[in-house]
Amino acid sequence: MIAPHKYLDLNLSLLNLGGVILNIIKEDGAVKYDELLERVILARGNSAKDVFIPTLSFLFIMGKIEYQKDIDTIEFVK
């Protein structure tokens, strides 16, 4: 998903979608998982569902987000 190929839709790339997710989380501070998924789908379309979880995993590994299990929210790490 990170490596480009001729069939890659740049609006649905992992890095682009990661930017969208970070912008949403920075605006609100903490966002519920379902609400974040809905907002990403509104921004990039229904095809964004396929890349949503790998993008969250990438952002978590990079240390940009944290998941709060008890309240089911995703928070931006400063």
Domain boundaries, the chain: 10-76
Q: What is the pTM of this model?
A: 0.87
Q: Determine contact, residues 60/66, Cβ cutoff 8 Å.
A: yes
**How confident is the model at residue 2, as a pLDDT?**
61
Mean pLDDT of the chain: 91
For residues 66 and 13, the model is more confident at 66
Helices (H), 10-77: 14-28, 33-44, 49-61
Tokens, residue 70: 């008890």
Q: Provide the pLDDT confidence category of residue 31 given band limits of 50, 70 and 90.
A: very high
Strand partners, 1: none
For the packed helices 33-44 and 49-61, what is the interaxial angle rounded to 10 degrees?
120
Q: Provide the pLDDT confidence category of residue 46 given band limits of 50, 70 and 90.
A: very high
CATH 1.10.287 fits 10-76, yes or no: no
Q: Is the pLDDT of residue 44 over 70?
A: yes
